[in-house]
Amino acid sequence: MNAAVVLVLFSVLVATQAKPDPDVCDVIKVESWNYKYAEKDVEDATWVLNMTVVDQQSAAKCNLGESFGYQKATLWVDDGCRADFKVCYLASSTECSVIRAESWSYKYSEKKVTGAALFISMAVEDRQSEAGCSLDKSFGFYNQNSTVWVDHGCRADFNVCYVRGSTSSTTVNVSSWNYKYATKALPSASCIYSMQVAKQQSAAACTFGKTFGFVANTMWVSDGCRADFSVSYYSA
């Protein structure tokens, strides 16, 4: 939500800490047979940071964001891409806290979670309100500013898990010339979590998820989208 919000105090009840491990990298085979979409979970991974082709077995192309990629701790392939991928990820590096968040008089409220750089999950542990608590409808979180939020009368204790680290923002130009697919990596980032148009230079539309987006620490554009993008990212 971009509307003005009211900050309220939450109570942190219990905190369990785990020592962050360094990034782990493995070579993992993922295959799209008969050009069908396929997924594979990365065992012991909290969050995948990067995925690159090591040994391609398919005649079909393997392009990041088009025919392969990942979401949190799950790898995916499509359109016939079959390959061995080098996958780097965070392992056993989360901290979890039980946090009381309350939407009084059905008003929106939020709280900054100190030390949280990248949220992994948020689940209801003990609901006190008659109003329901539904993820992304009456409660959720923002990686951009390390906050959790509640709305519509939801009041509960939540189990919130996150990764410690640092978050930063920058402006990057990424351009699709001659309507071709293009990528640009952000070396300082472990993973990008937000990408928005800051200043568009192209007549062609720049639409998130259609003509621009990101996977891990790599931004992509297509179909003639050219713009300066405001990019927020996490660094381990």
70-119 pLDDT per residue, tens: 887 899 999 999 999 998 887 756 788 999 999 999 999 999 898 787 78
Q: How many independent structural domains does the chain possess?
A: 3
pLDDT confidence band for 52 (50 / 70 / 90): confident
Residue bearing the bigger pLDDT, 169 or 129: 129
Do 99 and 13 belong together in one domain?
yes
Whether 10 shows a pLDDT value over 50: the answer reads no
Place of tokens 């937000």: 194
Separation of alpha carbons 63 and 220, rounded Å: 11
Separation of alpha carbons 147 and 99, rounded Å: 12
Do 56 and 46 belong together in one domain?
yes
What's the confidence (pLDDT) of residue 80? 97
Do 195 and 157 belong together in one domain?
no
Which residue type, as a one-letter code, is found at position 26?
D
Q: What is the mean pLDDT of residues 205-210?
A: 90
What's the confidence (pLDDT) of residue 14? 24
Q: Which domain holds residue 128?
A: 6-17+93-163
